[in-house]
Chain A
Amino acid sequence: MNAIETLGLSKTYGGGPFGSRVDALRNVSIDVGEGEAFGLLGPNGAGKTTLVKILLGLVHPTDGTAMLLGEPAGSPKSRTNVGYMPERREYPDFLTAAQVLELFGRLLGMDKQARSRRIDVVLEEVEMSNWRDHRVGGFSKGMQQRLALAQALLPDPHVLFLDEPTEGIDPLGRVSIRGILRRNLEKGRTLFINSHMLGEVELLCDRVAILVKGRVRREGPLSSLQAPNPEYRLVLAATDDEARAALAATGDEHEVLAAPPGRSAWRLSVSDRGELNAALDRVRQSGIEIEEVQRVRASLEDVFVQTISDASSEDSEAGLPGGARSDQAGDADPPAPADEPTPVTVTTETMS
């Protein structure tokens, strides 16, 4: 059973006699397996928060179906084993951290003993034990973020929805929260992370979907999105001409790169590791020594920006309006506007 399933999910806001119609989600179908860390990416107004809110029953879909842990999303039962950490939250400032958790524990149906035990556990987990009897009104943003995480963890959930979990947190705090999330992943929990902090998503998620103007434009394992056709950077002890001749014989797509004197550097595109090894064998057979082989991956940011750019181009060609509404909950800014030229970052990993 998948933890989360959506099929043809659509949401249209407005459309009445006095309001303009806005398609926040259009035919979104995604599956998230149990124990998976799934990242939902997208620029402002892409519909990310709407999707999460539909899954949690906060927003009613216009069309399509959504299931959460095998139950129709929106039913109270579907939310029994679910934790939610919204981006924007307003805890009553007169309550202490323990009182906030006590309230949510009672709403979750926990008995007194279980509540008391879980409150201790989750406060310990988010390193807030010393603040349990302090009022929320005096908490910094980072502490409120930790409290929100504690509240999301309170039901001991199967699925954790996290909307910008590290937003507004200092680097040390981010590392700490990432550690907490990793530990939860190891416990078998499913993480659904909605974020514009691509670096964080890259570090935590196995699979991502990129939502643009309410449509899923790309979806898949992070590795396949970042390098759909594996590319390698070769540094050879040869001149460019010698290397070109040797690589031409492989039949693989290749492109010369800048290299230090006396060396020749190339980007080689292959379909799999076997093809790479075959190409390397041919190079060696040409009498050229191989100095370095590195896997080249596009960063998630490149994939993200490229996806948005592709989406804009497709919409222009199809004559669709370019603008989408601002997302209700105010998604945070993407790293760069879609129509700006963006620098390409190349992430490399040395092949063992």
Chain B
Amino acid sequence: MTDAAISTLGSPAVSGARLTLQQLGALVGYTIREARHKWTLVALFVLTTLFLVGLATVISVDVVEGMIASARLFGTIPLQIGGNQISIADAVTVIQVAIVSLLSTFGLVLSLFVTGNIIPRTLRTGWVDLLASQPVARITLVLGRALGAIAVVTLAVAYLFGGSWLLLTWKTGFGNAGFLLAGLTVLFTFACCYAGMVLVGILTGSSPVSIIAGIGIWFLGLILYPLHTYSEWTTAFRAGWPRSLASGIAETLYWVLPKTLELTERASQATRLESISLTPMWTSLPFPLICLALACWWFARQDY
């Protein structure tokens, strides 16, 4: 090759950590664009907008000296609140706890459902080859797509929590910062379950299996907490090794899987501005980290 020819050939403008960040940014941006074009993001935003419009129009409150004098549905139907006046802070908190509960269940399952195909879609023959043949580490590919999915849900959660918070603050004059903290907790719960979906998606390449896994992880977290707290259930098993085995399995799963019920409770507590224990967060954190590490390791050693 001549020197003149070599001088015309290019090389990347950035390298090292900056290159990795640019690649992650490209993959996150692509995932958001994909979600927009596949109607995922649009569906989440339409549902959220409908909810916010409902919140804005359905409930109207009259505030007198810091207390709610009256509350009406659709501006006409009077709401009795136990015959007593209720403080604005209490009323807002009740509404926000209801939103958090809705989001931690219905919203979280919906988010897992709509993001379940992001990783399997990356593994399509003809697309994975193109991506993996670029100067991109495979770990970057997995993390970029996973972060992209989390970014999509973050946008939706930010819109819903931010929108609800602004709306309620505007209507009542009471801004509850704990509600915004609850949004982060819901997002953390989603990220924990989604990491499990990433691992299953990389292992199977199947969207339905990934979705089932993600929702399964969330659901198991709900039922394992009561089993962990109330050990009486083990009496249903014969004393001896069957009881020990059942108890051992439940306890192992409880400590391994994300504690989704406790995380939901913490979100509600944060909304009520109660002091919260961070133990469920710390003990849930190893699960997504291990799942992502395993997913990256497996993806890196596969032939495509």
Taking Cβ atoms with an 8 Å cutoff, the residues of A that contact B are 13, 34-35, 53, 56-60, 76-77, 79-82, 84, 86, 88-92, 94-95, 99, 103-104, 106-111, 114, 118, 151, 155-158, 187-189, 328-329
Contact = CB atoms under 8 A, between A and B. Distances in A.
Given A56-B133, A79-B133, A80-B11, A109 B303 contact: no
Contacts of B9: 81, 156-158, 187-189
A79 B134 contact: yes
Contact of B127 (A89, A110, A157): A89
Nearest to B36: A94
A329 B304 CA distance: 9
B304 A88 contact: no
A158 B132 CA distance: 18
B303 A58 contact: yes
A90 B125 contact: yes
Contact of A109 (B19, B37, B38, B127): B19
Interface stretch (B21-29, B161-169, B198-206, B284-292): B21-29
Contacts of A95: 33
Contacts of B127: 89-92
A103 B26 contact: yes
Interface residues of B, number: 41
A28 B133 CA distance: 21
Given A88-B126, A92-B30, 6 more contacts: A56-B132, A80-B135, A84-B130, A90-B124, A110-B12, A111-B14
Nearest to B37: A94
Contacts of B14: 109, 111
B150 to A, nearest CB: 19
Interface string B1-42: 110011011111111001100110111011001100110000
B303 A86 contact: no
A109 B135 contact: yes
Given A90-B125, A94-B34, A84 B133 contact: yes
A34 B1 CA distance: 6
Contacts of B125: 88, 90, 329
Nearest to A61: B303
Interface in B71-104: none
Given A86-B129, A114-B13, A76 B136 contact: yes
